[in-house]
Each structure stands twice: as structure tokens, then as C-alpha cells.
Amino acid sequence: MPKHKPKRSAPTIDMTAMCDVAFLLLTFFMLTAKAKPQEMVVVDTPTSISQTKLPDAGTLTILVDREGKVFLDMAGQHTRMDLINTMNSTYQMGLTEKEMAIFSNVGSFGVPRNRLKQFLDTPVSERTKFPSLGIPIDSVDVNKSELANWIHNARLSQFRMKQEGKVKDEYVIVVKADASTPYPAVQGVINTLVDINVNKFNLITSMEGKPVAEGSKK
């Protein structure tokens, strides 16, 4: 009498729990992720063979476009909030709490102080169309230089945040100029840094290949 073989059936796996976990993770990342603020200026940096790497965080960047207009960008939401509170009270800029909160996340900016309120009130989609006049530099009196005021107070804010344990390091100053920027514009930024006792900073360039010595060519 032939043996009866039991019918084999493929095992089933209930994926409901896995789907729930995947959905929860996706929702978490969607809610917590922050979009990078749109840059107000595009800078095509000159090339060099320098291999010095800058930190991913803790930088204060001075951008100079091809027309010589100056923009600022700085890392750290806590620092930016402390900075704008200081600037608002010191220079009576008339910013609201909402506008200062926007500043803490706005990315780079390049407007005089008296235009900052209007800039912050501009919808995000229209902000890149806002007339960017650049942050004013006074080459005669550093106390009247808005760029010097911003940088000086930003460094103080970062130092306070470091003391409170909200950031790890003080700012690394970075100058990023376009390859076609007029030299006097860059020199004006450097002179401003020297005037406020910032004697160590980094010039950003694009990487190019090292030159090959004549003796090593084949």
C-alpha cells in the first residue's frame, strides 16, 4: 500500500508588525528632518591645492559675491537666537519674537540692518528675489561697520553658548569669495576682520590637482 505524503504548504509570515515599525520610522524622520535653507548667493570659488578640511559645524562664513556684496551665514540655532536678541536690543531693530525665530533658521543673509525686518517678513518662496544690497562695510570707522558688528557679536554669542554647554567650540571664521570677485572687496573683508582682532581665518577654495614636479614626469 503506497505511503500517503502530507501536502506541503509554504510558510506564511505576518509582516503587519514590520510594516507598522517601518511606517513609524518614516513618519519620525519626516517630522524631525529639517530642509537646508536656500542660499541667498551662489559663490564659484577659485581653485587651489590646499587640503585643509574645515569642520562640518561651528563655522561663521563670510560670503562675497562676484559684485563684491557681502553675506553672512553662521551655524548654530542657539547662537543665532542669542545673536539676534543682542543685535535687536543694541541697535533697536524693532524685530518681533516671530521674526527673530525666523532669523535663527534663515541661512545666509546679505542686507543692511534697516532692511532685515522686511527681509525676514518676506515669504520663503520669495526671499531669493529680495534685493540683496550686501552687509555694509565701513573702511574708515570699524565701529560703524555693520559687518564688524555682526561678526563681533556672533563670536560673543557663540562663546556664551559654549559656556552654557549648548555648543562645543568657538566659531571658525571662513571667507568664501567668488573667483571673479574684485580684490578690493575681499581686502575690505580681511581688513574688517583684522580691525576686530580676528587674525586667524580660512579662505575657501575648490580643490585642484597638485602640480607635478618636472623630475617626476614620465
pLDDT in tens, the chain (218 residues): 555 555 665 566 665 666 666 656 656 544 544 444 455 455 555 444 445 565 566 899 999 998 999 999 999 999 999 999 999 999 999 999 999 999 999 989 999 999 999 999 999 888 888 988 999 999 888 888 999 999 999 999 999 999 999 999 999 999 998 888 888 999 999 999 999 999 999 887 654 444 444 554 44
Q: CA–CA separation, 118 vs 95, rounded Å?
A: 10
Relative to beta strand 70-74, strand 172-177 is: unpaired
Q: Which three cell numbers stand for residue 200?
A: 586667524
- Residue given cell 560670503 in the structure block: 63
Q: Looking at residue 207, what is its pLDDT?
A: 40
Q: CA–CA separation, 187 vs 146, rounded Å?
A: 16
Q: Looking at residue 198, what is its pLDDT?
A: 93
Q: Which three cell numbers stand for residue 27?
A: 513618519
Is residue 79 within 8 A of residue 163, CB to CB? The reply is no
pTM of the model: 0.72
Q: Looking at residue 120, what is its pLDDT?
A: 96
**Per-domain residue ranges for the chain?**
47-206
